[in-house]
Amino acid sequence: MSSLTTNPANADEDVRTNLDPTPLLFNDVYFDRQSESTFSPSPSTWAPFSRLPTELRLHIWKLSLQQHRMIEVDLLTIARNNIPRYTNRNHLGRIISDKNYTRRLRGRESYALSLTPLLRVSHEARAAALNFYHIHLPLSTGQVLYLNSEYDVVYARPRYKKHPVGGDYMRDDTFLLADFLHDVRAYDHKDHGITRLALGNEILHQFLDYFKGKTWLTPDKLHHPTAAASFAAILRHKLHTLFYIVDFRYSARGMGPNPFSSGWRTHFAQSFPLRRRGHVAGGFQWFPADPRPGVALDLRQVPLCEDPRTMLQGWRDLERVFFLFDSGVPTENQQQTAAASRESDDDGGHGGCRVYICPTQKWPTVPNTWPPVVPPTIDLDGDYKIQERAAEREAVWSRDELRQHFRDEVTQWEKQRANYPYSLQDSPPGSMYSADSPEEMEVFLEMEKLPCTAIGMWLMEAEAFPPPTDRRFHTFNLSSIRPGLLLFQV
């Protein structure tokens, strides 16, 4: 395979001779091809540009800004110190939540990467950029994050720290999302706010009862009428796409024989997308259907860390509760009315935002070693600092680290082949795959010739997710779904 080192025995020699210094990714092939086919003259060298009509120049500036990005924003609650909530106003005259949490981009160069060069080209280009990015959100670092609600996906990521004695630790952090969404809208000149939101289980589990598939969060628990009304309005009228980012179950894509699961396929799932590291403000291309070969075969067995259908049930329950509040249903009747609405919702309609399940593969920051994971319920400053160090390591990456991860995957896979030779007896020597038919083997051979490994995530309509084939391991057969692909620029 071109994106994997297929001969671990010669790994040291490869390093010495520098034969494979850069792992080739599907991202590289796609974006290099795009850059070769796109001609963008530079205004500094193309003299006639300034003589174009103003409307045409502004249109060109706007076209250069129309790029999808995923912006990862870290959120951190701090001691409340009795600061009144939802009383202060910003420079636009709009109420903001308070100063009880911080928001920032992770990584030393992340903020610079979030800025378009047009901010420094000319007064006209800067004005066009500031108009395009109509959300001007102050960060806790004193900088301003510029966002466009139509093109930018905001990935809200909580960071936990010690709270004052007393109070509910986990549920107090629930204010993070409601307050953050309110504040982004308050700093939006067009009053749109975040319309495309990405969340992981680290924050969803705070206000969704994952094990029961419902929400414990009701408007009265936000403890402020403005907070409840704002959150309800955002859920009902502003937010239209939710990306739920879920991890694959294993840290490597090679799935060896599983003695505890019947029908398990020993398989190397090269098309499983790898999680983005670094570039927390980077751009992406959204493919309606993943174009890489072998995707349909890998989809037959997809083990995840959890059942995303439970999250979907909880999210829809959250929407119903707050939709009823936005419609004026009395607070004490919301849960009962939401339950009745859920039971009578026979046509599958929900009236909420579109939810995508987005599986992506974590890969280690150092070979064979994951950063310490600290449960958010542990209330120690030292543990928070460990989390911060792990987060900072995740904010950077190198091709050498990626190459080492590929080597580790191959080494692990070769051990599985040696321990269970009969599980791969139909595959040719050196192949990463076993095949049930000649047609499958043709696909596998094609995958070995192409850089099929992608840094990105799949996108699947949550309502189309089938029941698991193995509940114990949250394994799904998703071959009936053709997932989209969100491919990051790396």
Q: Looking at the predicted structure, is the pLDDT value of residue 375 above 90? A: no
| Per-residue confidence (pLDDT) for residue 342, from 0 to 100 | 45
| Per-residue confidence (pLDDT) for residue 422, from 0 to 100 | 53
How far apart CA 361 and CA 356 sit, in angstroms, is 16
| Per-residue confidence (pLDDT) for residue 265, from 0 to 100 | 82
| Per-residue confidence (pLDDT) for residue 4, from 0 to 100 | 42
Q: Looking at the predicted structure, is the pLDDT value of residue 182 above 90? A: yes
The mean per-residue pLDDT over the stretch 449-457 comes to 91
The residue that leads in pLDDT, 325 or 206, is: 325
The mean per-residue pLDDT over the stretch 121-127 comes to 90
Beta bridge partners of 89: 95
The residue that leads in pLDDT, 34 or 175, is: 175
Q: Looking at the predicted structure, is the pLDDT value of residue 429 above 70? A: no
Q: Looking at the predicted structure, is the pLDDT value of residue 244 above 90? A: yes
| Per-residue confidence (pLDDT) for residue 201, from 0 to 100 | 82
pLDDT grade, residue 378 (50/70/90)?
Answer: very low
The mean per-residue pLDDT over the stretch 386-391 comes to 58
Q: Which region among 43-47, 60-64, 90-94, 303-307 has the lowest average model confidence (pLDDT)? A: 43-47
Do 376 and 173 form a contact (C-beta atoms < 8 A)?
A: yes
Q: Looking at the predicted structure, is the pLDDT value of residue 351 above 80? A: no
Q: Looking at the predicted structure, is the pLDDT value of residue 138 above 90? A: yes
Q: Looking at the predicted structure, is the pLDDT value of residue 425 above 60? A: no
The mean per-residue pLDDT over the stretch 139-166 comes to 82
| Per-residue confidence (pLDDT) for residue 356, from 0 to 100 | 97
Q: Looking at the predicted structure, is the pLDDT value of residue 192 above 80? A: yes
């102050």: which residue's tokens? 138
Residue 412 structure tokens: 């692990």
The mean per-residue pLDDT over the stretch 268-296 comes to 92
pLDDT grade, residue 218 (50/70/90)?
Answer: confident
The mean per-residue pLDDT over the stretch 87-103 comes to 91
The residue that leads in pLDDT, 303 or 100, is: 303
| Per-residue confidence (pLDDT) for residue 47, from 0 to 100 | 59
How far apart CA 153 and CA 449 sit, in angstroms, is 33
Closest Cα to residue 483, out of 363, 307, 308, 357?
357
The mean per-residue pLDDT over the stretch 277-284 comes to 88
According to DSSP, residue 140 is labeled T
| Per-residue confidence (pLDDT) for residue 280, from 0 to 100 | 87
The residue that leads in pLDDT, 442 or 345, is: 442
In 41-188, DSSP assigns E strands to: 69-77, 101-104, 135-138, 144-147, 152-159
Do 136 and 144 form a contact (C-beta atoms < 8 A)?
A: yes
Q: Three-state SS string across the chain, please?
A: CCCCCCCHHHHHHHHHHCCCCCCCCHHHHHHHHHHHHCCCCCCCCCHHHHHCCHHHHHHHHHHHHCCCEEEEEEEEECCCCCCCCCCCECCCCCECCCCCEEEECCCCCHHHHHCCHHHHCCHHHHHHHHHHCCEEEECCCCCEEEECCCCEEEEEEEECCCCCCCCCHHHHCCHHHHHHHHHHHHCECCCCCCCEEEEEHHHHHHHEECCCCEECCCHHHHCCHHHHHHHHHHHHHHCCEEEEEEEECCCCCEECCCCCCCCCCCEECCCCCECCCCCCCCEEEEECCCCCCCHHHHCCCEEECCCHHHHHHHHHHHHHHHHHHHCCCCHHHHHHHHHHHHHCCCCCCCCCCEEEEEEEECCCCECCECCCCCCCCCCCHHHHHHHHHHHHHHCCCCHHHHHHHHHHHHHHHHHHHHHCHHHHCCCCCCCCCCCCCHHHHHHHHHHHHCCCCCEEEEEEEHHHCCCCCECCCCEECCCCCCCEEEEECC
Burial class (CB in 10 A: 0-12, 13-18, 19+), 372: exposed
The mean per-residue pLDDT over the stretch 432-456 comes to 78
Average pLDDT, the chain: 79
Do 178 and 94 form a contact (C-beta atoms < 8 A)?
A: no
Q: Looking at the predicted structure, is the pLDDT value of residue 63 above 70? A: yes
How far apart CA 343 and CA 215 sit, in angstroms, is 16
The residue that leads in pLDDT, 59 or 427, is: 59
pLDDT grade, residue 432 (50/70/90)?
Answer: low
What is the number of alpha carbons within 13 Å of residue 199 lying toward its C-beta? Answer: 26
Helix 308-326 to helix 225-233 angle (10° resolution) is 120
The mean per-residue pLDDT over the stretch 308-316 comes to 91
How far apart CA 286 and CA 484 sit, in angstroms, is 7
According to DSSP, residue 238 is labeled I
pLDDT grade, residue 101 (50/70/90)?
Answer: confident
Instruction: Give the number of other CB atoms < 10 A from CB of residue 94.
Output: 15
Those residues with Cβ within 8 angstroms of residue 52's Cβ, 6 or more apart along the chain or in another chain? 60
pLDDT grade, residue 441 (50/70/90)?
Answer: confident
Q: Looking at the predicted structure, is the pLDDT value of residue 387 above 70? A: no
Burial class (CB in 10 A: 0-12, 13-18, 19+), 300: middle
Residue 329 structure tokens: 């249903």
Q: Which region among 141-150, 229-238, 257-266, 374-383 has the lowest average model confidence (pLDDT)? A: 374-383
Q: Looking at the predicted structure, is the pLDDT value of residue 144 above 80? A: yes
